[in-house]
Structure 1
């Protein structure tokens, strides 16, 4: 059996030494364990964006994988540090909702991690989470690492709602690096119109069905309806931000 990997998702960026310090701890404690950089470009302190990112990938990795997630604006406060076992994978990070996707599985187990008084109050990623991730990757059981924790923060994607006329009302969840507008709308029908920012976008199946510069909507790889401009930036074109209203009809 191959050694499980440790994945890294942070808002640290790569211009400073923070990611390097995380990796220094990991390779010192678990030198044989592969480390997979997922992204260090989560917008700073953006728990919601981090949560949606975790939702996309955490099940895509093999059983035994340890996901280390550090988007932690409350570092050093009373927020708990936690580790989760869920569907055969492990997640380690702050209890601020960023790890929510793994908490809704029926077999999810959570422990609260002790925080050494000597740990930096501004860098639990290095001093608390990374050592735990290394121990899990080396075979430690979840219960060895902390006390059972029954009240973790669980954040959910808000559901859309249908009005009396049959129109589905939702909101913008996030905007990706292409400027695509990802909503909470769900549909299996690749026809109809999406209204957003005073504009209407026809639903298509692929980007290739749109003309260059055309505003369209489609079902993205996450399953949610996205609004895009072919070879352009929909969010910039519409001046749209997270939380904006969107209607499917």
Structure 2
């Protein structure tokens, strides 16, 4: 294996939970290189955990091992699995929808159920509430260090059985694109949509042109305005909104040197919809 272990959780850093995962991993092999994806996933937000994996995994070397623990069902009958992606990365995670974006956009070659008789931290068998430490970090570290092979994780399960969260496809109809706000660029408050650049180009979009943007949460409209399609944030005046192509080649919405999400109380997830229409002046 590549000996890169990448951790993602909703645990935060206010206590010792993440530190314990580090300790377990280094106890398996002190030469493992451990990195944090994020530990600031909102509690229980499987959707955001799924997206953050998709956001970064393609930029890591092949054979890197990811451990993702956003697990509101810890201690229940939900499965603990390891998958090998089409990009030759490994993900150790509960089977609860965390792999939704990976399965859809990157693809999964094979999946295995974690055999907890072999791949569980010794003397932790009576603990049912910290599988991130006792099962996922331990198994991920063993895989990254080459202590076990992928085949030794446990029995094969069908990829088609892996749980997926509902995903809405972006569509174009009568010169209007309707999509979803999948995630926020948290630090800067930019909503990121599932509208890819190629679909957006079907509106014959050019930099500098104006578009009507409408955002809804369920059936409630929370925003409607005209904004410019810009190459960069500086293509609008200070405090003005714009459309742009983000780092995943999808359409984002921003305020120049401001937080669009905070200014207009916009969030992300399956219920947040966006409609974009070209304005003919």
TM over 0.5: yes
Question: CA 1:106/1:206 → structure 2, altered by over 3 Å: closer, same or farther?
Answer: closer
Backbone CA RMSD of aligned residues: 1.9
Structure 2 residue 272 is the aligned partner of structure 1 residue 244: yes
Structure 2 residue 154 is the aligned partner of structure 1 residue 154: no
Contact between 2:83 and 2:108, CA under 8 Å: does it hold in 1? Answer: no
Question: CA 1:7/1:247 → structure 2, altered by over 3 Å: closer, same or farther?
Answer: same
Counterpart in 2 of 1:179?
A: 189
Contact between 2:210 and 2:226, CA under 8 Å: does it hold in 1? Answer: no
Deviation at 1:115, TM superposition (A): 3.7
Counterparts of 2:108 and 2:190 in 1: how far apart (Å)?
A: 34
Counterparts of 2:253 and 2:108 in 1: how far apart (Å)?
A: 35
SS in 1 for 2:103: helix
Superposed, which structure 2 residues align to 1:43-192 within 5 Å? 43-86=42-85, 87-104=87-104, 105=106, 108-115=109-116, 118-139=125-146, 140-150=148-158, 151-155=161-165, 157-163=167-173, 165-177=174-186, 178-186=188-196, 187-188=200-201, 189=205, 190=207, 191-192=209-210
Question: CA 1:156/1:222 → structure 2, altered by over 3 Å: closer, same or farther?
Answer: farther
SS in 2 for 1:41: coil
Counterparts of 1:59 and 1:146 in 2: how far apart (Å)?
A: 25
Contact between 2:102 and 2:108, CA under 8 Å: does it hold in 1? Answer: no
Specify every segment of 5 or more residues in structure 1 that has no aligned partner in the other structure, as ranges: none
TM-score, normalised to structure 1, is: 0.92
Counterpart in 1 of 2:121?
A: none
Question: CA 1:193/1:145 → structure 2, altered by over 3 Å: closer, same or farther?
Answer: same
SS in 1 for 2:253: strand
Specify every segment of 5 or more residues in structure 2 that has no aligned partner in the other structure, as ranges: 118-123, 215-222
Contact between 1:136 and 1:142, CA under 8 Å: does it hold in 2? Answer: yes
Deviation at 1:205, TM superposition (A): 1.1
Counterparts of 1:49 and 1:60 in 2: how far apart (Å)?
A: 18
Q: Which has a greater percent of strand?
A: 2
Deviation at 1:24, TM superposition (A): 0.8
Contact between 2:81 and 2:114, CA under 8 Å: does it hold in 1? Answer: yes
SS in 2 for 1:153: coil
Deviation at 1:203, TM superposition (A): 1.2
TM-score, normalised to structure 2, is: 0.82
